[in-house]
Amino acid sequence: MEVLVPLPVVVPLIAAAALTASGHFLGRRADDIVGIATAAATTVISTLLVVRSLDHDLVYWFGGWTPRQGVALGIAFDVEPLSAALAALAGALTTASFVFAWRYFDEVGTLFHVLMLIFLGAMSGFVLTGDLFNMFVFFELMSVCAYALVAYQVEAPAPLQGAVNFAITNTIGALFILMGIGLVYGRTGALNLAQVGRTLEGSKPDGLILVSFALLLGGFLVKAGAVPFHFWLSDAYAAAPIPVCVLLSGVMSDLGLHAIARIYWPAFSGVLAAGTEELRALLVGLGVLTALVGAAMAFLQRDLKRLLAFVTISHVGVFLAGVGLLTARGLAASTLYVIADGFVKAALFLAVGILIHRAGSGDELRLRGRGHRTPVGAFVLVGGALLVAGVPPLGSFLGWSLLVASAREVGYGWLPPVLTVTAIVTGGTLLRSAGRIVLGWGDEDDPLLTAEPPAEEEEPQVAESRLSPPLLFAPALALLAVGIGAAFTPGFGARATAWALRLQDRPTHAAEVLRGEVPPQTPPVPVHAGMAPYAYGLLSLAGAVLFALFGLYRRRLPELLRQRAGRLLDPPLTVLKELHSGVVGDYVAWLTFGIAALGGLVAVLIR
């Protein structure tokens, strides 16, 4: 049974190597088939790992280097259900991307498939590993693949800029992580997370520990795209090819947050226990800020990919707030939210891809009233927009209920209303686009929205002659269906909370990893959220519809009202837009400021 554990990494890597060796002789369709088969197999293996790890972690020591007398020298994969579920999500989204790419790309080389498969293997390894340095290696592997994939259509100007900004900022983020790892190793002499936690246990949180924690936190927040580390994200996601966006937005961003959870609880929760309250305030505050900035910026976009990139940032903020509550329910909420929302966002990106392919543009204003050219694309766009706004009890509602319950548990009753506002703005913005594209509503132009990049290439050829290719539509519909259905797994919320508790129970977890002691069963924890999540959900749905109408017909509001509101809102929105300058030097300056501020806050708050 343990033999399954390394397979989500090994299978895609071997397939990628085989494709590199033989793909050029086999031709495009063979590459596609190998890609789809490998990704699907990886999904199945990761799902099996979820099932196998329901009762206890699966700990796999590479090369048989098991710990002696509770001291780990080898490198371990430590599989628990939440991580394995994220690996399965990565596999499922990769499969959908490959199926979509079958018809989406007119020409694509073997390199694309190879990079996608390595990307998948690296993501799986990143979530499954229980070792700090191993985590860094998979982090870099997944990042390098992502940079190259963003730059895949390198002839256009945007991918170059996106890839350069992405590569530079994320490499510096990785340096933060590496320095953090170096300092942790210097203090503990250990790289295994459970071992680090056991060594740090009982010591005082001195400067070295705080600095290394802040560096690790900051580095992973760069990958997640939390404010002020988020600037690269919108440039990269707007420039990447659609099948790549699906992976970046659907799962990669969220892996950064999961890494924070996997580092905090096994390794740092003991030594930082006295500062739990303060750390909670810091993380939730960052999450709320990110959610608000992402939502506001999304509203100002007309390019659908860039719009969705900012929606991604906003959602990362929500997930960060969920993890940052530092409760089992909060962690479970975030993970369930990530999974359901990952499918929905992936479906939305595919809908944009279908629009680009069938209606010739990915720009909201240019597409006005053109949605009828692709009924399926329009359907997925509307459905996804509604799900982002929140349709109880569908989609990410399960995660949302847990989040509400968790916020109440720790006295953060103000959090759900604030996050509802961000859901209204993000959902409303997507509904605005859907209304304009599908129904042709709203004005033809809107000066508030970010101007299009200077168009130099003619509009892509719209293939009229072809029949509607089902391979283009099927993955989008399937992802949307899974996203909707995610909420209907019975008892999922209660069980996910129990898994989160298992991850957070540091002594038991350490005994399991280092001494192989099988932990006692954790019973499911009932959700107990009451009716409040439904109320918030309905509120955000209604609010989003109204907000969409506002976005469409803003300029028909009475003159007086518009002037007042304009005077109040224009300056901050203009400044916010200016900050997203697209120049990598500015982004790195923000990064430096962010890590310094984070370090300062951690040092001041947690002592």
Partner 1 sequence: VSYLPFALAVWIFLVGLYGVVSSRNLIHLAVSLNVAQSSTYVLLLSVGYRERGTAPIFADVPRGTRAVDPVVQALTLTDVVVSVTIMGLLLALAIQAHRHRRTVDPEELRALHG
Please report how close the Cβ of residue 452 comes to partner 1 at its closest, in angstroms.
10
Q: Does 133 bind partner 1 (CB under 8 A)?
A: yes
The reply on whether position 62 binds partner 1 by CB under 8 A is no
- The smaller minimum CB distance to partner 1, of residues 22 and 574, is found at 574
Stretch that binds partner 1, among 58-66, 231-239, 263-271, 508-516 (CB under 8 A): 231-239
Please tell me whether residue 257 binds partner 1 under the rule CB under 8 A.
no
Minimal CA–CA distance to 255: which of 94, 162, 165, 135?
Answer: 135
User: Is residue 158 a contact point for partner 1 (CB under 8 A)?
Assistant: yes
| Residue of the chain from 167, 246, 259, 402 that contacts partner 1 (CB under 8 A) | 167
Residues forming a β-bridge with 71:
68
DSSP letter string, 154-202:
TTSHHHHHHHHHHHHHHHHHHHHHHHHHHHHHHHHS--BHHHHHHHHTT
Nearer to partner 1, 220 or 492 (CB): 220
Q: Torsion-angle region of residue 549: left (phi > 0), alpha (psi -120 to 50) or beta?
A: alpha
Q: Closest Cα partner for 292 from 208, 226, 371? A: 226
**Position among 125, 162, 250, 537 found at the interface with partner 1 (CB under 8 A):** 162
**Location of structure tokens 């042709």:** 440
Half-sphere exposure (Cβ direction) of 507: Cα atoms closer than 13 Å: 3
Angle at 546 between CA 483 and CA 567, to 5 degrees: 120
Provide DSSP, 239-292: HS-HHHHHHIIIIIHHHHHHHHHHHIIIIITTTTGGGHHHHHHHHHHHHHHHHH
Q: Return the DSSP state at 439.
A: I
Q: Choose one: 150-158, 246-254, 427-435, 436-444; the region binding partner 1 (CB under 8 A).
A: 150-158
The residue range among 500-508, 530-538, 543-551, 578-586 that interacts with partner 1, by the rule CB under 8 A, is 578-586
C-beta of residue 368 within 8 angstroms of C-beta of residue 438: no
For residue 141, the minimal CB distance to partner 1 (Å) is 9
**Pairs from 207-212 (Cβ < 8 Å, separation ≥ 24):** 207/603, 208/183, 209/268, 209/271, 209/272, 210/599, 210/602, 210/603, 210/606, 210/607, 211/180, 211/183, 211/599, 211/603, 212/179, 212/180, 212/181, 212/183, 212/184, 212/187
Rounded to 10 deg, the angle between the 415-434 and 532-553 helix axes is 40
Q: Which is nearer to partner 1, 208 or 565 (CB)?
A: 208
Q: Which of residues 354-413 bind partner 1 (CB under 8 A)?
A: none
Question: CB 168 → partner 1: shortest distance, Å?
Answer: 6
**Which of 200, 239, 247, 480 forms a contact with partner 1 (CB under 8 A)?**
239
CA angle 322, 328, 331 (to 5 degrees): 35
For residue 203, the tally of other CB atoms under 10 A from its CB is 12
Does the footprint of partner 1 cover residue 583 (CB under 8 A)? yes
Q: What's the DSSP call for residue 76?
A: E
> Within 10 A of 464 (CB to CB), how many other CB atoms are there?
7
Question: How many residues line the site for partner 1 (CB under 8 A)?
Answer: 53
Among the listed residues 192, 234, 327, 433, the single contact to partner 1 using CB under 8 A:
234
Could you say whether residue 168 binds partner 1 (CB under 8 A)? Answer: yes
| Cβ-based nearer residue to partner 1, 152 or 319 | 152
Cα separation, 242 vs 224, in Å, equals: 19
Please state, in angstroms and rounded to a whole number, the distance separating the CA atoms of residues 45 and 23: 24
Note whether 581 binds partner 1 by CB under 8 A: yes
584, 598, 602, 606: residue in contact with partner 1 (rule CB under 8 A): 584
Q: Which two tokens stand for residue 582?
A: 């697209």
Given the rule CB under 8 A, which of 81-89, 148-156, 315-323, 339-347 is the region that contacts partner 1?
148-156
Amino acid symbol at 17: A
% helix, strand, coil for the chain, step of 5: 75, 0, 25
Smallest distance from partner 1 to CB 433, Å: 17
Q: How far is the CB of 530 from partner 1 (least distance, A)?
A: 42
- Minimum CB separation of residue 111 from partner 1 in Å reads 12
Q: Tell me which of 276, 585, 600, 604 binds partner 1, using CB under 8 A.
A: 585
Listed ranges 198-206, 366-374, 511-519, 579-587: which one lies at the site for partner 1 (CB under 8 A): 579-587
Site for partner 1 contains 173 (CB under 8 A): no
For residue 140, state whether it binds partner 1 (rule: CB under 8 A). Answer: yes
Positions 431 through 460 that interact with partner 1 (CB under 8 A): 450-451, 453-454
Calculate the alpha carbon distances from 344 to 93, 216, 311, 383 in Å.
11, 29, 12, 9
Site string for partner 1, 35-54 (x = CB under 8 A): --------------------
If binding is defined by CB under 8 A, does position 164 make contact with partner 1?
Answer: yes
User: Among 79, 144, 346, 359, which residue interacts with partner 1 (rule: CB under 8 A)?
Assistant: 144
Tell me the closest approach of the beta carbon of residue 451 to partner 1, in angstroms.
Answer: 8
**Residue 596 binds partner 1 (CB under 8 A):** no
Three-state helix/strand/coil letters over 421-438: HHHHHHHHHHHHHHHHHH
What is the torsional sign of CA 162, 163, 167, 170?
positive
Show the binding pattern over residues 305-344: x = contacts partner 1 (CB under 8 A), - = does not.
-x--------------------------------------
Q: Residue 363 in contact with residue 238, Cβ under 8 Å?
A: no
Question: What residues between 72 and 101 interact with partner 1 by CB under 8 A?
Answer: none
Based on CB atoms, which residue is closest to partner 1, 72 or 415? 72
Q: Give the footprint of partner 1 on this chain (CB under 8 A).
A: 133, 137, 140, 144, 147-148, 151, 154-158, 160-164, 167-168, 171-172, 174-175, 178-179, 181-183, 185-186, 191, 234-235, 238-239, 300, 303, 306, 450-451, 453-454, 577-578, 580-585, 588-589, 592
